[in-house]
Chain A
Amino acid sequence: MWEKKPVLLIVLATGVILIGTIITMVLPFAWVNTEADRIEGVKPYSALQQEGRDIYIREGCNNCHTQTVRPLVSDVLRYGDYSKSGEFVYDRPFLWGSKRTGPDLARLGGKYPDAWHYQHMESPRAMVPKSNMPDYGWLSANQLDPQVIQHKMETLGFPFTAEEINALKGKTEMDAMVAYMQKLGSDIPWRQNAKTEIVGDLTNPYAGVGHATMEPWEELYQQNCAACHGEHMEGVIGPELIGGDYDDEVLFEIIYTGIADGGMPSFSNLGTDKVWKLVNFVKYYHLGEGH
């Protein structure tokens, strides 16, 4: 029948296409982004952050970075608390992405100090030698246009103040990008909640090892710490590490849990063994042979 009647075929096909569409695409609007989804503390983007977000979209950062942490052990250990629907209610468009050529950024806010981001955006390979992320230093040369940004905020219906818009004068696209990076995933207090508790005794398993044993551990230091503390622990974004006289246990705690408000990230995901190696390396290696 329908094989002889094109109009009938079109009507039937439309109907068939609409069934799955209505159930899995239209219906969910009744659940998603409703009151039940709301999370207190999740706020719209400020003018500067929203502009940073728009630049993130313009540059296609989403082609290499995702922004959603799955409730899977390895995701949560690597990136932080898993993502919740209510955290995205102000995201137009969503930026969850589909490919992790670089790491997930959903929980990036507060992980690094601003200075780290400026340097990393300027030259990713200066911080992370094998990175394939393009350089974005040229963003610093582009001034923001407060008028345009104000109009965008109005279009989105986000609250803003005149001072906020005024303050955009003289700021660059790089400032906006860093502001956006620092907002990511930090509307809920997950860092405080996820703060790793160190349980049990802390005894340095490598106490008293020789210089030669420590040599291969330099790799760990160069990979994880050198970008902020300098190749020779001389200090860059983070302080110089030579000369600090912390106890082994205190040093372990600093590295393992980080200094949340100071810009020192937590390295608990390296595991206790590697952190102990770093403790010994940081404390004793520069002393040379036979300390």
Chain B
Amino acid sequence: MENRAYNYAIVRSFVTWSVIWGLVAVLVGVIVSLQMVEPDLNFPPYLTFGRLRPIHTNAGIYGWGVGVIFATFLYIVQRLCKTPLWSDKLAKFQLWFFNATIIASAVTLLLGYTTSKEYHEMEWPIDVMIVILWVAFAINIVMTILKRKDEQMYISLWYMLAAIIGVAILFTVNAAAVPASLFKSYSAYAGTNDANVEWWFGHNAVAMALTAPPLAMFYYFLPKTTGVPIYSHRLSITAFWSLIFMYLWTGAHHLLWTPVPDWIQTLAMGFSVMLIAPSWGSVFNGYLSMNGQWHQMRENYLVKYLILGITFYGLQTLQGPMQAIRTFSAFIHYTDWVPAHIHMGTMGWVSMISFASIYFLIPRIYGREVYSIPLANLQFWLILVGQLIWSISLWIAGVLQAGMWNAMNPDGSLTYTFMETMVEMYPYWWARVFGGLIYMAGLVVFIYNLYMTVSKGKPLATQTASVEGRA
């Protein structure tokens, strides 16, 4: 009875739109990767690499990433709180305002209205829209939690609340600027201060948008899928609090060897290494929850997505701290190694968890069985192989270029000019185009599978609904 009042329509809409923006992000990604090897594919003034690259990153993080966060959180919060959303109207507003914001971002970035600050390129009027959007989302989630039926809040809800607060603080502080006109503003901070604020924001956008929310999804969907609870509650608690404590100290690992004061860099380095502990706390918690259940890796494609996802999270959080060490940073910083790191995180970790979450949701919000499990498996291999080609070729490229940048002749002069090192990148950049195309093929399979499920999928047998009953 209560079930009927749950608002699944809004979840359906957010799933649809996040997938659309995800496709846009990947498509623009393939375009910019082609522009790097074929500069004649720049069409000024709008379609040049410099203007398109931020559209790729922002469509990926805000359109796809945050879109999935909205979809899954609005679902999870109703299930975990055993109560419908606080306000359906507000959720509806959130949906349309979300799309308006993404479209406005894409258009203004194409027109060259940008602050240049990474992951925060949109100019101040869009920042205002983003703040309104986030407040609308936050109110609905918090109010729903306040009227929950279960007193105890499950792990996913902690991560949700932390992410909501975290993003709010980070975004508004980094947005501070003095407008010169409707679409041009100057940062409220200058030079080294601006850099330090930006990367405090930048790294914690990773924490609060690309780590905490996927963890909330993982902690919810893994036990739901396997039917076995999370291994250790105590480990969850420790990992949660130490994660949100430590992340905030680490922003300056993006600024090693720059004019930012040394002690900030050293703190960032130390805390980055310590971050391995809470990150791997969640990884182990996930692995150990699979005790006796590993056969499900073969039998259930959702488990495969979830476990591969958390594995990439584990690799990501080992590689990240390594990059945060001064000597290692001196070598790979500014090279193609870093985009390879990013894409293991976004294509591997965040997207794997997102695909799994959406596959889990679809039958429940549409009342239909997933159209084709073989297609879901095919998609799994396409995105896995695409991402591995992407990352591995650019790790090699990064190390190669770093080595050439640092190579010295016996007389103490540099062995290679910049261009001699840069031309060596082309084969690897081509490999990335190829990997990107394979990944995009996986995404197209996903969309086809979703479309067929929604339009032709078999109506759901009652059995899934009973799985649903366990909160």
Contact = CB atoms under 8 A, between A and B. Distances in A.
B364 interface: no
A63 B53 contact: yes
Interface string B252-274: 10110111110010011001000
A253 B186 CA distance: 45
B465 interface: no
Nearest to B51: A60
Interface string B325-347: 00000100011101100000000
B165 A13 contact: yes
Interface stretch (A148-156, A178-186, A232-240, A243-251): A148-156
Contacts of B44: 134-136, 138
A152 B259 contact: no
B43 to A, nearest CB: 9
Interface string B302-338: 0000000000000000000000000000100011101
A162 interface: no
B355 interface: no
A100 B153 contact: no
B13 interface: no
A155 B412 CA distance: 47
B86 to A, nearest CB: 13
A60 B116 contact: yes
A88 B260 CA distance: 11
Interface string A95-121: 111111111000000000000000000
A136 B51 CA distance: 13
Contacts of A128: 419
B5 interface: no
Contacts of B180: 151-152, 155-156
A59 B45 CA distance: 8
Nearest to B166: A17
Contacts of B339: 99
A25 B251 contact: yes
B457 interface: no
Interface in B34-67: 35-37, 39, 42, 44-45, 48-51, 53-54
B-side binding surface: helix, strand, loop or mixed? helix
B191 A90 contact: yes
Interface string A64-82: 1010101111100110000
B258 A68 contact: yes
Given A59-B48, A63-B54, A151-B180, A132 B36 contact: yes
A291 interface: no
Interface stretch (B238-246, B279-287, B376-384, B437-445): B238-246
A271 B414 contact: yes
B422 interface: yes
Interface in B105-131: 112-118
Nearest to B117: A93
A62 interface: yes
B338 A99 contact: yes
B385 interface: no
A98 B334 contact: yes
Query: Which residue, A60, A99, A100, has most C-beta atoms of chain B within 10 A?
Result: A60
A7 B37 CA distance: 52
A24 B264 contact: yes
B330 A72 contact: yes
B79 interface: no
B152 A24 contact: no
A119 to B, nearest CB: 16
Contacts of B116: 57, 60, 62, 93, 95
Contacts of B145: 6
A194 interface: no
Contact of A98 (B151, B338, B411): B338
Given A13-B165, A23-B267, A94-B191, A60 B50 contact: yes
A172 B156 CA distance: 55
B232 interface: no
Given A25-B251, A58-B114, A91 B190 contact: yes
B248 A93 contact: no
B110 to A, nearest CB: 11
B252 A24 contact: yes
A125 B162 CA distance: 49
A144 interface: no
B24 interface: no
Interface stretch (B68-76, B94-102, B223-231, B401-409): B401-409
B35 to A, nearest CB: 8
Contacts of A89: 190-191
A94 to B, nearest CB: 4
B197 to A, nearest CB: 6
| 7 closest cross-chain pairs (CB), A and B | A60-B50, A88-B191, A20-B248, A271-B413, A85-B259, A134-B42, A70-B257
Given A90-B190, A93-B198, 8 more contacts: A6-B157, A24-B249, A25-B248, A28-B264, A59-B48, A63-B49, A134-B42, A148-B181
26 contacts: A3-B158, A4-B151, A6-B146, A13-B161, A16-B244, A17-B166, A17-B248, A20-B271, A24-B252, A24-B264, A57-B116, A59-B48, A60-B114, A70-B257, A87-B191, A87-B259, A88-B259, A92-B189, A93-B189, A93-B194, A94-B187, A98-B334, A130-B422, A130-B423, A134-B42, A269-B417
Interface of A: 3-4, 6, 9-10, 13-14, 16-21, 23-25, 28-29, 31-33, 37, 54, 57-64, 66, 68, 70-74, 77-78, 83-85, 87-103, 124-125, 128, 130-136, 138, 148, 151-152, 155-156, 223-224, 268-273
Interface of B: 35-37, 39, 42, 44-45, 48-51, 53-54, 112-118, 142, 145-146, 151-153, 157-158, 161-162, 165-166, 169, 173, 178-181, 184, 186-187, 189-198, 200, 241, 244-252, 254-255, 257-261, 264, 267-268, 271, 330, 334-336, 338-339, 405-406, 408-409, 411-415, 417-420, 422-423, 426
